[in-house]
Every structure is written in C-alpha cells, then in structure tokens.
Amino acid sequence: MKPFYYLTALVACFIIAIATKAQNRSGVDSTGLPGDNFSLQGALAMFKKASSPEDLEKLLNSEDNHVNNLDLNKDGDIDYIRVIDKSDKEAHAFVLQAVISKKESQDIAVIELEKTGDTTAMLQIIGDEDIYGEQVIVEPGGGGDEEAFIYNENDNSFAGGPNADFENFNPRVVVNVWYWPSVRFVYTPAYRPWVSPWKWHHYPGWWRPWRPLTWHVWHPFHRGYHAHSGIVHTHRVIHAHRVYSPHRVTSVTVTTRHAAAVGRYKVNPGRTKAKTTSGNPGGNKGKRH
C-alpha cells in the first residue's frame, strides 16, 4: 500500500505545482497597481461600440463587459465610473472618473479625440499615472474593420495606408475613427458636451454595484480586448491633451493608499513612458480632491 500512497502523493504534488505555475503565468502582467483592475483596451472597445458619451458611461459600468474591476475606496463594491467631456472646438477629452466619496473623485483615464479632416479623426486613451504608475497610452489598431492612415512623426503628415495588425502593432499606423458612432455623434451640430450628472450615492436606477473579482479571475475576461488596440509611446492627440491637463482630478485617498506601489513601480518602470510628437515627456499635475 505504501508505494501506492507515495505515488498518489507524488501525483497530487505534481498537479498542485502545475496549477500554481499556471496561476502565476496568468498574473504575469500584474503590477500591483490599481490600473491592473481597469482595462484601457476595454474602454476603447466600449467607446467604439457606444452611440454617445452617455452610452459609453453605461457600457463602462456594466458588469458583463468586464472593463472595470476597481474598488479604490475599499468599500467592497465596484466604483462607479462617470464620463465628463472637456472640449474645445474640434478637440474632445472624455474623462473617465471614479467616484471615491462624497468629496473625492479620481481620474482613471482620458479618451482624447481630435478631428483631423472632413471625414477623419484620431484618438488615444491615456491611463492616469496615479492609477498605472506612469501615463500609459493606448490607441486602436487591428481588427480589420477600420479605415486606417499612416502618421509620419517627422513632418506631422498623414498618408493612406493599411490597417494595423495587433501582433505586429506599429505605432506609426493610426486608425481613422471617424466612422465610430460615438465620434460621429459628438461632431453633430446639435451635440452639447456630456457631463455626467451622477455623484456619490446618487447613481442611475439601472446601476447595481458588484463585488470586485480577484486579479486571477478578472484578468482573463479582458484579454480579448487587446486584439484591437495596443500600447504606444507618443502623444498624438496634442490639442485634446492640452484641453484636459488643467482639469485633471486626483484623490488624496487614492494616492496615499497606493503611494508605496506607485513608488516601487517608478523605481522599476514599464516600457510605456509617454512622449509628445515633439519628443518631450508627457505629464501634468492634477487638482487634488
């Protein structure tokens, strides 16, 4: 019986080791920062799907879409994400902002959009440095269903070109987002910039907060969004970024709670350092709430 017992124990240990290794592999992208629990790629996918900024807000706060897994105030419930449009002429900055408490809010990311021609527009989403450790820039690419054009960083010009493929994501290929329903909507003459009316303990009737998932459970849900966008290292949407910067909002509670994790990350940063098209590092200070 002893040989059989030892064999069973050995097999059990082997299975546990494989499971642990697989679990560790599934968390390979984890940074320990709050940004691990909000998908920038997923937010872009929701913006593409949305019919308006108001509809975008609803999609971001729908549990089934698995874009938001944030609980920044640690109350055990998912944080509500509101959308606020800061605009100037042809530039729009759609702020994705978490409601933390009665007095505090925290910017999670901003979708920056600019019209570049009669039927062309480009956008990027910028993850906030307090949430991601540094500014993380994501832009659409891949999927094969957008009209794309190539951006020449040397002379700030555009030329016709093929769409980007995610596996070989080329930051010089920029997707024309003009035909996205939400983009067409905000450039109609009747559009008025959307400012979410919701605040702490005053939420839409359709919203029901849910318990956040652990990293290993939540992470696989949003991996599919990565096939249609990628991280780049250059700010292209310059005017919209300047429109947004003076309005950036940060939470003392959030920055204090995650200061150690952000500090460790900045000592050993990722490879997503933001630059403008002129080569200067992107960055801004935020209003403290």
The answer to whether residues 248 and 208 touch, using CB atoms and an 8 Å cutoff, is: no
Whether the pTM exceeds 0.85: the reply is: no
User: How does DSSP assign 44-103, residue by residue?
Assistant: HHHHHH-SSHHHHHHHHT-GGG--B---TT-SSSPPPEEEEEEEETTEEEEEEEEE-SSS
The first and second tokens of residue 79, run together, are 């944080």
Cα separation, 75 vs 100, whole angstroms: 10
At 223 the pLDDT is: 80
User: 77-126, pLDDT tens digit by residue?
Assistant: 999 999 999 999 999 999 999 999 999 999 999 999 999 999 999 999 99
* CB crowding 109-132: b at 16 or more within 10 Å, else e: bbbbbbbbeeebbbbbbbbbbbbb
At 279 the pLDDT is: 40
Task: Give SS3 for 110.
Answer: strand
Burial class (CB in 10 A: 0-12, 13-18, 19+), 42: buried
* Pick from 216, 213, 260: nearest CA to 26: 216
User: How does DSSP assign 180-224, residue by residue?
Assistant: SHHHHHHTSTT----B---BTTB--TT----PPPPHHHHHHHHGG
Q: Using alpha carbons only, what angle is made at residue 185 by residues 113 and 144, rounded to the nearest 5 degrees?
A: 65
The answer to whether residues 141 and 164 touch, using CB atoms and an 8 Å cutoff, is: yes
The answer to whether residues 125 and 139 touch, using CB atoms and an 8 Å cutoff, is: yes
At 232 the pLDDT is: 92
The answer to whether residues 248 and 287 touch, using CB atoms and an 8 Å cutoff, is: yes
Amino acid in position 261: A
Region of 74 (left: φ > 0; alpha: ψ -120 to 50; beta: rest) is left
Q: Which residues of the chain have pLDDT under 70?
A: 1-29, 142-172, 269-286, 288-289
The whole-angstrom distance between residue 118's C-alpha and the CA centroid of its chain comes to 28
At 27 the pLDDT is: 42
